[in-house]
Amino acid sequence: MRVAETAVPGAYLITPDRIADERGNFYEGMRADELERVLGHPFTPRQINYSVSRRNTLRGVHGVSVPPGQAKYVTCVRGALRDIIVDLRVGSPAFGRHQAVELDAGSGRSVYVPEGVGHGFLALTDDTCICYVVSSLHQPGTQIEINPLDPELALPWGFSEPPLISARDAAAPTAAEAAAAGTLATWAPAPARAPVPARAPVPESR
């Protein structure tokens, strides 16, 4: 698999190498050893979640307060989606910066989202299913929601008609409001890690 760091420090796009024949194809969706080499620390799955969405559903921007914190390994297992991560770590040199990529079941691509970084997506097809492999168990009351239409973030969702969005997401605070309220994580420099070859450039960053 090929791993490329995104415009958000500590977040990565993972693209598997497929082995194809007349039966179909095979690929590795995640390798713990490769991910640990890149991150400089283990990623230990504690829970696996799925969500299914109709076309033009907008979910996010979501995160988990630190502590407990939660890193995510995100894969589209059916359909297609426009995935956006945004740095919400107060004090980060990239605070407010985002990375947008398209994930689909055909490519098998995944995104690793570190603790303190927000995540959201727009479903591009009906019956889109997304899988989250996460590093901590669900704890009620620790969820963080940021308004996905925050004008200061100006996230490039790319919808051509008003998206289907939950009332909770629509009423969520902006990133600046959440930072002022003290609900966001604080930036901490990443631990030393092996350099990642720039083999897979990631487009659509800001």
pLDDT digits over 157-176, tens only?
Answer: 999 999 999 999 999 999 99
- Domain of 151, CATH number, reads 2.60.120.10
pLDDT score at 188? 85
Residue 188 lies in a domain: no
197, exposed or middle or buried, with CB in 10 Å at 0-12, 13-18, 19+?
Answer: exposed
- Among 8, 16, 22, smallest CA distance to 84 is for 8
Residues 6 or more apart whose Cβ sits within 8 Å of residue 178: 88, 144, 146, 184
- Tell me: pLDDT of 18 over 80: yes
Residue 170 lies in a domain: yes
Strand 47-53: give its sheet, edge to edge.
Answer: 2-5, 12-15, 110-113, 72-78, 128-134, 47-53
Give the separation between CA 51 and CA 127, rounded to whole angstroms. 10
Give the separation between CA 202 and CA 206, rounded to whole angstroms. 11
pLDDT score at 204? 55
**pTM for this predicted structure:** 0.90
Residue 167 lies in a domain: yes
pLDDT confidence bin for 195, thresholds 50/70/90 = low
pLDDT score at 191? 58
pLDDT score at 126? 98
Residue 141 lies in a domain: yes
> What pLDDT, in 10s, does the model give residues 38-89?
999 999 999 999 999 999 999 999 999 999 999 999 999 999 999 999 999 9
Residue 201 lies in a domain: no
- Tell me: pLDDT of 200 over 50: no
Domain range for 34 is 2-181
**Rounded mean pLDDT, 179-189:** 93
Number of domain units in the chain: 1
Give the separation between CA 137 and CA 78, rounded to whole angstroms. 24
Residue 13 lies in a domain: yes
pLDDT score at 143? 95
pLDDT score at 190? 63
- Among 184, 201, 206, smallest CA distance to 65 is for 184
Read off the DSSP letter of residue 39: H
Q: Which residues are catalytic?
A: 62, 132
> What pLDDT, in 10s, does the model give residues 112-152?
999 999 999 999 999 999 999 999 999 999 999 999 999 99
- Tell me: pLDDT of 199 over 50: no
Residue 190 lies in a domain: no
pLDDT score at 198? 43
Read off the DSSP letter of residue 179: H
pLDDT score at 172? 98
Residue 195 lies in a domain: no
- Tell me: pLDDT of 95 over 90: yes
pLDDT confidence bin for 91, thresholds 50/70/90 = very high
